[in-house]
Amino acid sequence: MNSAPSAIAVRSVSKSFGRGDAMVRVLSDVSVEIGVREFFTLLGPSGCGKTTLLRLIAGFEELDSGDILIDGVRVDHLPPFRRPVNTVFQSYALFPHLTVAQNVAFALELQDLPRAEVRRRAGEALEMVRMGALAARKPAELSGGQQQRVALARALAPRPKVLLLDEPLSALDLKLRKEMQIELKQLQAEAGITFVFVTHDQEEALTLSDRIAVMQGGRILQLGTPREIYERPAHRFVADFIGEINLLEGQVSGHGKVRLDCGAEISAGAGQAAGARVTVAIRPERARLVRGGVLQAEVTHVAYLGTATIMQLRLADGGPFLLRAAADDLPAIGGRVQVDLPSDALQVFAA
C-alpha cells in the first residue's frame, strides 16, 4: 500500500445546516483521498454539496462528524488561519482598500517574513500570473480576468500545500475562461501543488482534472479520471450530467436482450432480471448510421459543425435521439435512416 499521506483525506464527513424541520443535510458520509500534486475536481449541480466540502477543507464551516486531514495532519478542529491551504474565491474577494501588491503580500506579512522577502515573493507571485505591471492598482481598476489572476497570485504567494478553487472561472466570459483553464493547468505544474477545484461545468472538469468526483445530493456518486467518468458512468445521473448522451427506456425481454420502448430489440442488459425496467445509454458519437441498423429513425434536424455533423433524430415512439457523425455525412431532413448501437458503447442502468 501507499504509505505517503494523501494531500487531503476526507473521512466519513457529514454536514447539515439549520435545525429541526428546517434542517438540510448537505453532505452525507463523504470520504475521499486526494493525492499530492493532483488536479482534483468536485463536480456537480448547484446544491450538491461540492462548495460545502471545499469550505470544510478550508475551515469556513465546522463539520458535524468525520475528520479531515491535510498532509496527514488532522485539521478539522483548526481555524482557517492555521490550515496550510489557501482559497481562490468565486467572487475573488480581493481586499478593495488594498493595492494589488498589498493584496498579494497580505499573507506573507502575517508569516513574519522579512520585508525584502515579502516584496520578492509577492513580486514573484504576480509575475507568475503576468500581473507585475499592475501591482500599484486597486482591485476596482482591474478587469474580471485581471482580478482573477490577482486572486490566484494572492492564494499562491504563501506557498500553500493545497490550493482550493471555488468556481473561480464562472464569472468570466467563454473566451477568457478557456484561456484561464490553460493557465490554471500551467500554474499548477509550475507551483507543483495540489489543486482542489469546484465547478458545475462538466466540460471544464473534463478539460482540467486528473480525477473528478461527481457529486449529487451530498454524496460522491462516482470518482475517477475524466475518461472513466465519461466512458463508464456508474450512474444514470453521471451519464446524463457529463457530456451529451441518449437515454433510451426499455425492458429486459430475456437473457441479455432489451426491448426498447421505441420497438427495437438490442443486445444489452446481461445480468438484469427479465421484465426489469432499464435505461440504455449511448453517447451521440458512438452510435452509427448504418444501413440495416437496429433503430429506425427520421432525421428532424442537421447541424454542420465543420469537424462533425450533429443530427437530431426521431425514433419510432417519437423519442429524440442525438447522433454525431463525420462531417461529410449529411442526410436530408425528413429522410429515414437506420442507426446501429455497438454493444460495447452501451451502458445499462436499472430504472
Q: Which residues bind another protein (CB under 8 A)?
A: 58-60, 79-81, 85-87, 89-91, 93-97, 106-107, 110-111, 140, 154-155, 158
Cα radius of gyration (the chain)? 24
Which of residues 94 and 248 has its CB atom nearest to another protein in the complex? 94
The grid coordinates of residue 179 equal: 484561456
| Shortest spacing between CB 244 and another protein, in angstroms | 34
Which of residues 26 and 94 has its CB atom nearest to another protein in the complex? 94
Give the SS3 label for residue 192: coil
Q: Report which residue type is found at 50.
A: K
Give the SS3 label for residue 317: coil
Which of residues 113 and 308 has its CB atom nearest to another protein in the complex? 113
Which of residues 140 and 174 has its CB atom nearest to another protein in the complex? 140
Given the DSSP bridges, would you call strands 336-340 and 320-326 parallel, antiparallel or unpaired? unpaired
| Shortest spacing between CB 276 and another protein, in angstroms | 48
The grid coordinates of residue 87 equal: 482559497
Query: String of b and e for 44-73 (b: at least 16 CB within 10 Å)?
Result: beeebbbbbbbbbbbbebebeebebbbbee
| Shortest spacing between CB 110 and another protein, in angstroms | 4
- Report the distance separating Cα 207 and Cα 201, nearest Å: 10
DSSP 230-291: HHS-SSHHHHHHSS--EEEEEEEEETTEEEETTS-EEE--TTSPTT-EEEEEE-TTTSEE-T
Given the DSSP bridges, would you call strands 211-216 and 39-43 parallel, antiparallel or unpaired? parallel
| Shortest spacing between CB 117 and another protein, in angstroms | 15
| Shortest spacing between CB 161 and another protein, in angstroms | 13
| Shortest spacing between CB 200 and another protein, in angstroms | 18
Which of residues 97 and 175 has its CB atom nearest to another protein in the complex? 97
| Shortest spacing between CB 128 and another protein, in angstroms | 17
> What is the CA 216 to chain-centroid distance, rounded?
12
Which of residues 58 and 297 has its CB atom nearest to another protein in the complex? 58
Q: Where are the alpha helices (DSSP H) in 111-173?
A: 115-128, 144-156
Which of residues 159 and 185 has its CB atom nearest to another protein in the complex? 159
